[in-house]
Amino acid sequence: MLIIIGIILNIIGIIGVIVPALPGITLNYLALILLYIAKGEVLFSLRMLIVFGMLTCLVVLLDYILPLMGAKKYGASRMGIWGAIIGMLIGIVFFPPFGIIFGLLIGAFVGEIMAGKEHSQALRAGFATFLGSLTSMVVKLVLAIVMMIYFFIHLF
């Protein structure tokens, strides 16, 4: 039963990396924990479980830091960052899956315009926020896939 739950968590985890409403990478790590409980340390190293746990914490932290770093580097305001978040959520609901990307970019741009920036500044800050979020998503996706592969290799 734990193995079946682990497989489901891996699938939802991969989806969750792309859809921000789900905890994504955390679910992939939880699947590894369930595999460790089911199989024990004979087939699955506690050391690797700890390493994946630390990587998961680091990637979750980077998920918040990278978009902000990109935004701050190009002078994004709080309005731009909030616009990006709101745009991303609207994009998820109304235009999945690409709405996430375009909603983030458009939301950051609109937020910057509302903050009083010129169009070129708003576009640059919006694009930087978008690139930071996209980079974060790619890093999470790579780790999620590695953990899922590790899960399935040690499953059998």
pLDDT in tens, 55-73: 999 998 887 777 777 777 7
In terms of Cβ atoms closer than 10 Å to its own Cβ (0-12, 13-18, 19+), residue 98 is exposed
Tell me the average pLDDT of the chain.
Answer: 85
Does residue 78 have a pLDDT over 90?
Answer: no
Q: Could you tell me the pTM of the whole model?
A: 0.76
* Mean local confidence (pLDDT), 3-25: 86
**Are the C-beta atoms of residues 111 and 128 closer than 8 Å to each other?**
no
Number of domains in the chain: 1
- CA trace torsion 62, 94, 90, 69 (10° rounding): 30
- If you ran DSSP here, which 8-state letter would residue 32 be given? H
Does residue 142 have a pLDDT over 90?
Answer: yes
* Mean local confidence (pLDDT), 35-51: 84
Does residue 99 have a pLDDT over 80?
Answer: no
* Mean local confidence (pLDDT), 86-99: 80
Percent over 70 (pLDDT), the chain: 97
Report the pLDDT value the prediction gives residue 120, as an integer from 0 to 100.
86
Report the pLDDT value the prediction gives residue 149, as an integer from 0 to 100.
93
Domain that holds residue 31: 2-155
Report the pLDDT value the prediction gives residue 53, as an integer from 0 to 100.
96
* Mean local confidence (pLDDT), 39-48: 79
Does residue 89 have a pLDDT over 90?
Answer: no
